[in-house]
């Protein structure tokens, strides 16, 4: 016996869309949902955590200024140096999650 949808004799076989692994579909779905939500501190915090990971999130604080500057407070100069070096990777990730142009620059300061 054949698995899948049954068809009548002479009918064409239904075309199935390819299956996409959940781990591949989730980032796109999450990005789409997040971009449609209103901009808030919680949304920016969530996007930051997703963009940089939990380790960096633990040693930073973020606040989005009205001009698109993301103010990032870090615990020491080593983290500041690493974040400045990683900005070309972080900014596109934030754009994917928040929308293009929401975060224009990172302003990294040791607190």
Quote the DSSP letter at residue 65.
-
Q: Does residue 14 form part of some domain? A: no
Positive or negative: CA dihedral 89, 91, 97, 100: negative
Q: Give the tokens for residue 79.
A: 């983290």
Average pLDDT score over residue span 41-52:
94
Q: State how many domains the chain has.
A: 1
In a domain, 13, yes or no: no
* Residues 33, 31: Cα–Cα separation, whole Å: 6
Look at residue 9 and tell me if it is in a domain: no
pLDDT, tens digit, for every residue of 48-75? 999 999 999 999 999 999 999 999 999 9
Q: Using CA atoms, how far apart are residues 93 and 50, in angstroms rounded to an integer?
A: 8
pLDDT above 70 coverage of the chain, percent: 80
Could you tell me if residue 19 is inside a domain?
no
CATH (domain of 57): 3.30.300
Residue 84 lies in a domain: yes
Q: What is the pTM of this model?
A: 0.74
Of the chain, the end-to-end C-alpha distance in Å amounts to 67
Domain of residue 87: give its range: 38-110
Confidence of residue 105 (pLDDT cuts 50, 70, 90): very high
Residue 29 lies in a domain: no
Task: Find where tokens 């064409």 sit.
Answer: 12
Q: Does residue 45 form part of some domain?
A: yes
In a domain, 74, yes or no: yes
């Amino acid at each position: 016996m054949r698995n899948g949808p049954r068809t009548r004799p002479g009918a064409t076989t239904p075309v199935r869309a390819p299956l996409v692994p959940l781990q591949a579909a989730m980032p796109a779905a999450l990005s789409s949902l997040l971009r449609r939500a209103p901009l808030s501190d919680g949304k920016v915090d969530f996007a930051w955590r997703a963009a940089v990971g939990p380790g960096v999130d633990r040693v930073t604080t973020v606040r989005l200024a009205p001009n698109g500057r993301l103010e990032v407070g870090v615990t020491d100069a080593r983290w500041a140096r690493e974040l400045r070096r990683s900005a070309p990777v972080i900014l596109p990730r934030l754009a994917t999650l928040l929308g293009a142009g929401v975060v224009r620059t990172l302003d990294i300061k040791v607190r």
